[in-house]
């Protein structure tokens, strides 16, 4: 690289990481986690979701979390919404950025939100359009983009089709999500090549991002593969927290500290301080009452001066 390139980390620990934790985390605890992440230099955070409290009790205080967020400069907070009811709740609570999730297969949509693929497409694109009209940022997740735990490998053509619909509806960002961590670098490269051919390199760099799980220990390799196609924004979760509660085998998001260390060593800039991340991990461990850490944690813990 001729000059230092910026790669944006979108931290999903407060939402994706906590949503299926057995230990309840109260609003103050969630805000303590977010404060620690902000102090570490994280500037993009998915803070909660406006889903049914019955379905995901851990997210029942989404409005209270939004109300208590630290008002730092250049912060980008987003929330997940499952449908228009969730969108209206998020908007009323003051959300400025909303994310919808559309699974690429019929069965995953049924398991995740109890809707057909066709109905889910309609709802997601309606929310995106409404957000555009309301002046809110909209982000569209395409989950199980490589493989579905119920239907197996996903044809790339459907991903291109779903992304096209979201962009036409006005989505500001499309997130390609390997929800169960089944993808390998060759598959990631192949899909992002097709997306680049369809939408162009400039669109890929500015409006697409990626979400990888480390289930098969290939999350960092997949980040590298996506980087080669111009992707400059990635989801990750502090300490590797999380995994979709509706997808069998979806254990473990890409750990934020792993992503940051690799990117920095490869010459990219994330603006995130690794010492600060280590402190955020300590805060998170106290909240969920067990140890956290990605694959680099043993090495990071052994370093006196990181």
Give per-residue pLDDT as tens, 37-77.
Answer: 999 999 999 999 999 999 899 999 999 999 999 987 899 99
- 98, part of any domain: yes
- 151, part of any domain: yes
Give the pLDDT score at 286: 97
Backbone phi, psi, residue 79, to 5°? -135, 155
Q: Which residues pair with 209 in a beta bridge?
A: 175
User: DSSP code of 13?
Assistant: I
- 3, part of any domain: no
Give per-residue pLDDT as tens, 143-189.
Answer: 999 999 999 999 999 999 999 999 999 999 999 999 999 999 999 99
- 38, part of any domain: yes
How large is the average pLDDT for residues 14-19? 94
- 2, part of any domain: no
Region at 16 (left for phi over 0; alpha for psi -120 to 50; beta for the rest): alpha
Contact 238, 17 (CB under 8 A): yes
Count of structural domains within the chain: 1
User: What is the domain-level CATH number for residue 108?
Assistant: 3.20.20.70
Residue 114 corresponds to which tokens in the numbers above?
A: 């109890």
- 52, part of any domain: yes
- 54, part of any domain: yes
Contact 163, 197 (CB under 8 A): no
Out of 148, 184, 244, 266, which one is annotated catalytic? Answer: 244
Of 95-109, 178-192, 241-255, which range is least confident? 241-255
Nearest to 292 by CA among 23, 68, 66, 42: 23
Is 124 labeled as catalytic in the residue annotation? no
- 194, part of any domain: yes
Residue 187 corresponds to which tokens in the numbers above?
A: 């598959």
**DSSP percent split of the chain into helix, strand, coil, nearest 5:** 45, 20, 35
Domain of 264, in residue numbers: 8-302
């Amino acid at each position: 690289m001729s000059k230092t390139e910026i790669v944006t980390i979108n931290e999903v620990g407060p939402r994706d990481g906590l949503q299926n934790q057995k230990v309840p985390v109260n609003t103050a605890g969630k805000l303590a986690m977010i404060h620690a992440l902000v102090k570490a230099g994280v500037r993009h955070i998915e803070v909660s979701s406006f889903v049914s409290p019955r379905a995901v009790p851990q997210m029942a205080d989404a409005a209270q979390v939004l109300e208590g967020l630290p008002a730092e400069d250049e912060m980008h907070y987003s929330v997940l919404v499952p449908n228009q009811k969730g969108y209206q709740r998020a908007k009323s609570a003051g959300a400025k950025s909303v994310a919808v999730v559309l699974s690429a297969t019929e069965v995953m949509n049924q398991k995740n939100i109890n809707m057909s693929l066709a109905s889910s497409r309609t709802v997601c694109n309606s929310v995106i359009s409404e957000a555009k009209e309301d002046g809110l940022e909209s982000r569209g997740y395409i989950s199980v983009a490589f493989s579905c735990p119920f239907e197996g490998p996903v044809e790339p053509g459907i991903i291109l089709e779903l992304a096209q619909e979201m962009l036409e509806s006005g989505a500001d960002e499309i997130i390609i999500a390997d929800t169960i961590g089944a993808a390998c670098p060759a598959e990631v490269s192949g899909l992002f090549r097709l997306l680049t051919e369809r939408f162009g390199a400039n669109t890929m760099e500015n409006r697409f991002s990626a979400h990888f799980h480390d289930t098969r220990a290939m999350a960092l390799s997949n980040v590298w593969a996506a980087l080669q196609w111009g992707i400059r924004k990635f989801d990750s979760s502090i300490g590797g927290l999380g995994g979709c509660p509706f997808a069998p085998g979806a254990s473990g998001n890409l750990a934020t500290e792993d992503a940051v260390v690799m990117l920095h060593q490869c010459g990219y800039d994330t603006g995130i301080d690794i010492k600060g991340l280590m402190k955020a991990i300590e805060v998170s461990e106290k909240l969920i009452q067990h140890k956290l850490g990605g694959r680099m944690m043993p090495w990071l813990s052994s370093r006196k001066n990181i």
